[in-house]
Structure 1
């Protein structure tokens, strides 16, 4: 009786064979010993808070960041008359440190993408740190920081029911990324998508506002 199946050969380089107990998670190990601090500087958002009246946007919180791989986030009009908040500028990569494993990551848009003039500042209300990539590829790192490859290596953190991860812990997280040329390709593609996504977001936002004003007019 003929048996179904395949025969295959494996050619192994004996120089790469490692002795030891079989480990099904061996492929996850970081061979290069690179950490996030090798690729980026991480700093806390400056605590010199400014009056909310200088911004036309409401403070950005975790709730404004959608789940999934969306390059935009909910940018709401400022309805606050008073209050002081930390401000960040355009094209700033922010990483949420409370329950960091949720991947609350965003890049603030360029002013012209949302029909505004530079310089533009965004108020922050949740706990973020700024990630400053040494290769300046903000959008590649936006994608990487949201990936399970990165998030699964984040330590639990401290803080009881609202654990926070420290800058020191973030800096020590092992990193495995493509070569610079590949990172640049990914980054350039994401920039194009981000620009168009923000243009579409603001167009949709304008239409919804017009619809709401019609509802109020005929109410």
Structure 2
């Protein structure tokens, strides 16, 4: 049991998850692919990627909501006009915003989660400004999501609206769960089989 726990902790620390999740969603879909139809596939891909992370952390999948999409798009356009990432405060909805190079926009979430998985301390499990975006995205009680994407020059302005909002004090232990052991073991086994096939 102690060895299994050690192996699990080592696996999480190495984080093989982010690269595998990214490949599942984005392999073969570069800028010419995800930028079509006003970045429609980029938004859909973000939701798929988020839901794979939510599964990893023991949270149910989010459902895309048209009304939230509209709010997100409006906010993304506002940010693109101001050319800054404007903090959005709302009593009902949670917001995740970002600005990213247009042609690398499908790296937005992997860039966030690679550092989060390695750095976030689940034994303390409380609000951390540096990782507030990630904890909002994996917040277990959140049910719906909307994604808005606007562009200006070489940049994309990303806004995600989440309902209900997360990052609520005193509710982290029930809503921000560590990497689930059964899923982590699956990733470990996948990596082992891949290494074995190369020999």
Q: Could you state the TM-score of these two structures normalised by the residue count of structure 2?
A: 0.31
Q: Could you state the TM-score of these two structures normalised by the residue count of structure 1?
A: 0.29
Instruction: Name which structure has the greater RCO, CA cutoff 8 Å, separation 6+.
Output: 2
